[in-house]
Each structure stands twice: as structure tokens, then as C-alpha cells.
Amino acid sequence: MNLNILGTILSNATLASLISTQAIQYIKDNLNIKNSFLFIIVEFIIGFLFSLSFTDLGIIYCLWCGLIVIIGAESLYKSFKGKLGLKSSNNE
């Protein structure tokens, strides 16, 4: 098991989760879209593209990062809400 790659994937997924949840909050507030399936796709795409852009990981590892963002985005967002300038939707 390569723990360096795992650490890189998890750290990228953490940052991408914060970015994706802010993007989803923006979509909820400003575009009035409430489609949960769309939000899952947005989280995956942001996680995948963030990892692909800012690391030298391969495509498979970037896909794993996208999957981890889907799984952990909401729990990370709840942990950091109110900190780091993160805001919540008006109806939460």
C-alpha cells in the first residue's frame, strides 16, 4: 500500500470537498436549483478536475478523489461551516 498516494488523494479530496460544497451552496442560493443528482455530479466533477489539475496523479487516482469528495463533502462542510468564510444556504 502506498500511503503517500493515499495521503495525497485524501488531502486533495478535503480541499475539493470544501470548494464543491461552496459551489453547491451558490447554486442553491442564486440559481434556485434543488436537484440532488446534479449536486452529486458537480461534487464528482470538481473533485476529479481539482485532483487532475493540481497534482501529478493518474486518471484512476483522480477518479478516486472524485468519489471521496462525493462521500465526504457534506460532513466536511458541516465541520467547517462558520469557519474559513464558509456560509450556508438561507434555508438551512
pLDDT for 1:
74
Least confident of 29-33, 44-48, 62-66: 29-33
**CA 2 to CA 11: how far, in whole Å?**
15
Instruction: Encode pLDDT of 4-43 as tens digits.
Output: 888 888 889 988 988 888 888 888 888 888 888 888 999 9
Average pLDDT taken over every residue of the chain: 83
What one-character DSSP code corresponds to residue 58? -
**Please, which residues have CB within 8 angstroms of residue 72's CB and are 6 or more apart in sequence?**
13, 14, 17
The conformation of residue 27, written as its DSSP 8-state character, comes to: I
pTM: 0.76
Instruction: Work out the pLDDT band at 88, boundaries 50, 70, 90.
Output: low
72 residue type, one letter: G
